[in-house]
Structure 1
């Protein structure tokens, strides 16, 4: 399963009410580092599809969600379990680091 696009309207259903952990990537079209990690997140979403859903929230389109979680710098990845944010990682990193971090907090 590839990454899913999440909006203010779908955030509760897609993330907070998910039956498995969801990694939310807060990003924007103008953010270079966000674009750098996008292919890695796509690959990780395929490799860990049975363990986690990876969702992308465009902070320019979904300003309410970005504000609710205090997003000030991007890319910001927040892992939600049972509707609660349990871990976060700020900034771009190589795929191996992103995957290692995600596996360590799942």
Structure 2
């Protein structure tokens, strides 16, 4: 999954597409597990844009978006937060979450 700069993050979030961002810190073990789960799940949704960013580099945005802990998954649409998730739970959970935002309506098994 592509690690974004602050500039790239803002550009992706403000775009007219659905963007899924994973906020993490490098020393967080749970974040590493979450990133692996996202790597698997994102392959099933090529039409969604995925990215990740270290919250240490975007502290003012983390406050603005009220990110309370990491890992944090946020789904943006047209610059607005659609969902904020802290418990990634499982690959199956993420699959069903992203399926709600799948605009191609292609069946996945």
Calculate the TM-score normalised by the size of structure 1: 0.83
1:22 shift after superposition: 0.4
Correspondence 1:32 to 2:29: yes
Matches within 5 A, 1:46-61: 46-50=43-47, 52-61=48-57
User: Looking at CA atoms only, which structure, 1 or 2, has the larger radius of gyration?
Assistant: 2
> 1:55-85: CA deviations, max 9, x gaps?
1121112222222211121111111011110
Following TM superposition, the consecutive aligned residue runs of length 4 or more in structure 1 with deviations greater than 4 angstroms are none
Residue 62 (structure 2) aligns with:
66
- Is residue 23–residue 53 contact of structure 2 (8 Å, CA) maintained in 1? yes
Residue 17 (structure 2) aligns with:
20
How many pairs does the alignment contain?
A: 101
Residue 83 (structure 1) aligns with:
79
Runs of at least 5 residues in structure 1 that lack an aligned partner in the other structure: none
Q: Provide the rounded CA distance (Å) in 2 between the counterparts of 1:74 and 1:67.
A: 13
Q: Provide the rounded CA distance (Å) in 2 between the counterparts of 1:5 and 1:29.
A: 12
Q: CA RMSD in A?
A: 1.5
